[in-house]
Amino acid sequence: MTQPRPIRTVRGVRDILPGETVRWQRVEAEARRVFEAHGYREIRLPLFERTELFARGIGETTDIVEKEMYTFQDRSGESLTLRPEATASLLRAYIEHGLHVQPKPVRLYTLGPMFRYERPQAGRYRQFHQINVEALGEAHPALDAEVIGMLMELFRALGLAERLALQVNSIGDEACRPAFRERLAAYLREHAGELCPECRGRIERNPLRVLDCKRPGCQPLIDKAPSILEALCPGCREHFERVRGYLDALGLAYRVNPRMVRGLDYYVRTTFEVLTEELGAQNALAGGGRYDGLIQALGGPPDPGIGFAIGVERVTLLLGAGPDGPLPTALLIPLGEAALTALLPLAQAARRHGVGVEVAYGRKLRGELERAHRLGVPYVVIVGEDELRADRATLRDMASGAQRAIPLDRLPEELAALGRPG
Ligand code: HAM
């Protein structure tokens, strides 16, 4: 019989191996700690939703909805989509469960995989992970600063703050953006010949997105385009000034970038991104903004909201390789069946004392010592026939080679004492 061909992962989809999960756990644990210190609580959401939710929530003319969604029909013929982001799902849950009756702002966070059919490259995947935060039901500009400050606090806690740049912008609201959009479209139309085909296609559908084009050929025109910040209505202008004032009060460094437009249509007023120069084209580690009006557009109350999402793959790439995961404190090596039977309950008792142990399966001592060495465990415990008869175990310090005998029934406590740091 021929050997069957192994099946590999789908393009753009990765396994996160044990050597990496340590970093992932660290990022997630710091995120939970920082967010909970700000009063945010976790919500867990489904991985797929009705397609209509994303079409309405993210915007029909966005890249995500136009060409990146994993959409399929289930067996009943309903159109479903693997979530490309979490905000629309979270707002659906907020509306569906009447969370708006809680004291506002309602502060929520969620962690998990997202799915976008993008061209994979380093830092860009088709299944990727986000840490997502949303604060709902409060329009005060201090909330914008709280959310941005919390994001930067997480990067500070991870030791990354120095390597990242925060950019903020205001993209106006329904009162001022339509007129700006018209002005920008008119300007772009006038110079359409100098734009790349993709930008040309966007002039009528979504002219603001042209400002985000990275092609060198489009830059001179983009540089001279009208600035949204000069077109803000008094309400948006005041909001943005106050956000900046609170960011200054928090001592946060940032750059105002009037060309920053986000790839999702729901934003109004404040938008922000955290960028790095270390990951090539995939330079955004996190992005977010206000989306007042979106909850209502999804059939909910007229509650404002603001939030962000962090790309976890990109954060772990920046963290680089770190120490391996936690090791067991000891490998228990029984020499023979009777010793194995005696060690099994002692190992369990040691674990209940909070110390990590592995039990070997009674093979040759030399081979097991070699394995302990390769695992990197600091201690081994050897129980052979002689030890068993004397109710003793031999405890060996792998670094020094020093050995001592300990009473078998004291083994769990002895190991627990070794397992305690310091
Ligand atoms: P987004 O800018 O589309 O925003 O994504 C946020 C972050 O997710 C990006 O900055 C990036 O780090 C990461 N990311 C996006 N696509 C990929 C990919 N294909 N591979 C790896 N990482 C990726 C949102 O998703 C909004 N829902 C954020 C938000 C929340 N706004 C308000 N609340």
pLDDT at 23 over 70: yes
Residue 229 CB-density burial (10 A; 0-12 exposed, 13-18 middle, 19+ buried): middle
Q: Determine the average pLDDT of the residues in 323-347.
A: 92
Residue range 361-378, pLDDT digits in tens: 967 999 999 999 999 999
Evaluate: CB of 304 within 6 angstroms of ligand 1.
Answer: no
Q: Which pLDDT does position 185 carry in this prediction?
A: 95
Q: Determine the average pLDDT of the residues in 169-180.
A: 96
Print burial letters for 275-308: b (CB count within 10 Å at least 16), e (below 16).
Answer: bbebbeebbbbbbbbbbbbbbeebebeebbbbbb
In the reported structure, the alpha carbon of residue 132 is separated from the centroid of ligand 1 by a whole-number distance in angstroms of 9
pLDDT at 325 over 60: yes
Evaluate: CB of 408 within 6 angstroms of ligand 1.
Answer: no
What are φ and ψ of residue 94, in 5° steps?
Answer: -60, -45
Containing H/E element for 125?
A: none
pLDDT at 321 over 90: no
Evaluate: CB of 287 within 6 angstroms of ligand 1.
Answer: yes
In the reported structure, the alpha carbon of residue 274 is separated from the centroid of ligand 1 by a whole-number distance in angstroms of 11
Residue nearest (by alpha carbon) to ligand 1 atom 21: 124
CB atoms near residue 418 (< 10 Å): 15
pLDDT at 272 over 80: yes
Residue nearest (by alpha carbon) to ligand 1 atom 14: 311
What torsion do the CA atoms of 119, 124, 125, 126 make, to the nearest 10 degrees?
-50
In the reported structure, the alpha carbon of residue 358 is separated from the centroid of ligand 1 by a whole-number distance in angstroms of 40
pTM for the whole thing? 0.93
Evaluate: CB of 285 within 6 angstroms of ligand 1.
Answer: yes
Joined tokens for residue 23: 């970093």
Report cis status (omega within 30 of 0) of the bond before 105.
yes
> Domains in the chain, please, with CATH?
18-176+232-319 (3.30.930.10), 330-417 (3.40.50.800)
Q: Provide CB contacts within 8 A for 357, sequence distance 6+.
A: 328, 329, 330, 331, 332, 347, 350, 351, 415
Q: What is the DSSP letter of 141?
A: H
Q: CA–CA separation, 182 vs 203, rounded Å?
A: 10
In the reported structure, the alpha carbon of residue 332 is separated from the centroid of ligand 1 by a whole-number distance in angstroms of 46
Q: CA–CA separation, 348 vs 237, rounded Å?
A: 64
Q: Cβ(52)–Cβ(84) under 8 Å?
A: no
Residue 44 Cα distances to 13, 108, 263, 332, 367, angstroms: 22, 10, 24, 39, 46
Q: CA–CA separation, 286 vs 131, rounded Å?
A: 9
Per-residue pLDDT band for 179 (boundaries 50, 70, 90) equals very high
What are φ and ψ of residue 309, in 5° steps?
Answer: -135, 140
Q: Which pLDDT does position 2 carry in this prediction?
A: 84
pLDDT at 101 over 80: yes
Evaluate: CB of 128 within 6 angstroms of ligand 1.
Answer: yes
Q: Which pLDDT does position 260 carry in this prediction?
A: 92
pLDDT at 421 over 70: no
Per-residue pLDDT band for 322 (boundaries 50, 70, 90) equals confident
Q: Determine the average pLDDT of the residues in 130-138.
A: 98
Q: Determine the average pLDDT of the residues in 217-244.
A: 95
**Among 314, 316, 319, which is best to mutate for testing ligand 1, by the most ligand atoms less than 8 A from CB?**
314
Per-residue pLDDT band for 281 (boundaries 50, 70, 90) equals confident
pLDDT at 145 over 70: yes
Collapsing DSSP to helix, strand or coil, 310 comes out as strand
Computed over every residue of the chain, the mean pLDDT equals: 95
Nearest ligand 1 atom, CA 262: 2
pLDDT at 422 over 70: no
Residue range 153-165, pLDDT digits in tens: 999 999 999 999 9
Q: Provide CB contacts within 8 A for 378, sequence distance 6+.
A: 327, 329, 330, 397, 398, 399, 418
**Cα Rg, the chain, nearest whole Å:** 28
Q: Which pLDDT does position 251 carry in this prediction?
A: 97
